[in-house]
Structure 1
């Protein structure tokens, strides 16, 4: 069951049965579709009103679509893509939890229950977006609240919070629900870490009561394929932000980190080494005025590799840019 990633000009041009799931990035609401679609309500910075991405299945692949506790999902063979949105305003937190912490816990608990019911226990990649990620409420930064809820759900679902954890990103937008999209399969990932960085799940407690739960990258192997997912990557060396206030240097450092991740991934690849130009990328830029600088640095390093630039806040307030990518072989 092979997958491919496509950026169509419109969703209406796609055969509905051939789409496993996808993404719509843009301020305007997306059209109704018959498959799981994550909407990220934030501007695309490099032209065009929206970014559309779809995971496509081969012609004639069987699909099963459903809804489970608010998770809209579609399965084909042993691959499952799902999306869940939870507005915080409707969340009633348990004692000692904020609304965002409770929402994160509930979302991940529902995802794990779905995957267990489907017999596909392994998360491969997650896309997390929330409003006001760097804001403080209930005495704690909202991203740190999210990490507590996510980590608690991993443990409650009998999942490890260190080592073999999925690739992921977590970004902030101006408004909207906590939205999580995910891709899961029957086999565990091959985790990839970065020798230039402390693993995120081992961060010291200065970054919050619970460390983030993700690998720097993940290799996964649908039948006959290899896919590399590079998590959101920023200007962090060791566990500390570097080049504060310098978006040019932060962009270069982010790409240095991705290059280091690719070198490690290449050691475990079944399909050959990975180079920077082999991936497709999404770059999250905090300030629109920085776009030209970020694009210049990216073009110098990535050449003709496809990159989409999106307005978003990075998980640390001193980080100005974050870059993620994937390679499908």
Structure 2
């Protein structure tokens, strides 16, 4: 199916988790300091407590070299194949979460139109109090639903939707952090046969449906998986059982990956996993269960964060790649 020449050169992108970045990690497209504690000042800080405590660096390694600049309100890094951009917005300066979401997505549209990297691969969103609703508001006033409205206002009709993650930062209620990966070549959007596409959710989930695809399969063989939870059809499952939700979402991952494998013609294996857990008391249970459900040699990070639906307790995002590439020296 894929004939792009980049495929022959191998994968241009890796995710690695480490206590700190070193010269051996270069070139880096992006670095994120996750957790609480001393961190590299060059890294974007994500205040998501990690299971082990302290700080973990999420490193986006590329084949390089990279160039850096500031434009479109973002910190931008590119290497000729891929572009990373990061925004941190004070919602108060935009009049709330809806307007902040619209503003950042208009900047994303300008960036992708002008930069030579027109194809969004995946977008990450971190917002405080994601499930909060004003005391005088209804369900449609929940912050995540207003975020979805703002994002939709900035999207062009019929615009291809990337993979995405949206979770809640418990420590910063009025800050919106957005970062993305964009490419010069287009990927194939993958939907999950066990789930209704998010962009087709019924009205019960908000004034507009969430604007993302379940995964993006790139021409060089990597699969970027959106935040995935225990949703079957469009309904949340096992609302009172964190372990059952994790097992259900693994079934969703398996079905999504099988769909991608059927299109790409290669067996895919996880190359990086980030697990978001709503309740601190569940962190140890989730980590222990994940060690049995996922390959032991796959880089994995478990963090504390709110999920976009109040009845969901755990979510996983992932990067998959062909088995042959993972085994290569």
Q: How does the TM-score come out when normalised to structure 2?
A: 0.87
Between the aligned partners of 1:15 and 1:102, the Cα distance in structure 2 is: 41
Between the aligned partners of 1:314 and 1:135, the Cα distance in structure 2 is: 12
Does 2:48 align with 1:42? yes
Between the aligned partners of 1:111 and 1:23, the Cα distance in structure 2 is: 20
Between the aligned partners of 1:166 and 1:145, the Cα distance in structure 2 is: 19
How big is the shift at 1:288? 1.2
Change in 2 beyond 3 A, CA 1:175/1:159: farther
Between the aligned partners of 1:64 and 1:290, the Cα distance in structure 2 is: 41
Aligned position for 1:313: 306
**Which range moves more in the overlay, 142-151 or 2-11?**
2-11
- Report Cα offsets for 1:221-240 as digits up to 9, x if no partner: 3xxx3221111111111000
Does 2:237 align with 1:242? yes
> SS in structure 2 opposite 1:194?
coil
Please say if residues 21 and 55 of structure 1, whose CA atoms lie closer than 8 Å, have aligned partners that are also in contact: yes
- Which of 288, 307, 312 is the aligned partner of 2:280? 288
Question: Which ranges in structure 1 are unaligned for 5 or more consecutive residues?
Answer: 94-98
How big is the shift at 1:303? 3.5
Please say if residues 22 and 54 of structure 1, whose CA atoms lie closer than 8 Å, have aligned partners that are also in contact: yes
* Pairs aligned (count): 305
Aligned position for 1:85: 88
Between the aligned partners of 2:129 and 2:88, the Cα distance in structure 1 is: 16
Aligned position for 1:173: 169
Q: How does 1:225-264 map to 2 (within 5 A)?
A: 225-264=220-259
Change in 2 beyond 3 A, CA 1:40/1:159: farther
Aligned position for 1:22: 31
Between the aligned partners of 1:112 and 1:159, the Cα distance in structure 2 is: 14
Change in 2 beyond 3 A, CA 1:252/1:23: same
Between the aligned partners of 1:209 and 1:142, the Cα distance in structure 2 is: 12
> SS in structure 2 opposite 1:7?
strand
> SS in structure 1 opposite 2:181?
strand
> SS in structure 2 opposite 1:112?
helix
Q: How does 1:184-263 map to 2 (within 5 A)?
A: 184-221=182-219, 225-263=220-258
Aligned position for 1:135: 132
Does 2:69 align with 1:73? no
Structure 1 runs (4+) deviating above 4 angstroms are none
| Alpha-carbon RMSD | 1.9
**Which range moves more in the overlay, 18-27 or 199-208?**
18-27
How big is the shift at 1:293? 2.3
Between the aligned partners of 1:302 and 1:63, the Cα distance in structure 2 is: 32
Between the aligned partners of 1:38 and 1:231, the Cα distance in structure 2 is: 20
Q: How does the TM-score come out when normalised to structure 1?
A: 0.87
**Which range moves more in the overlay, 69-78 or 208-217?**
69-78
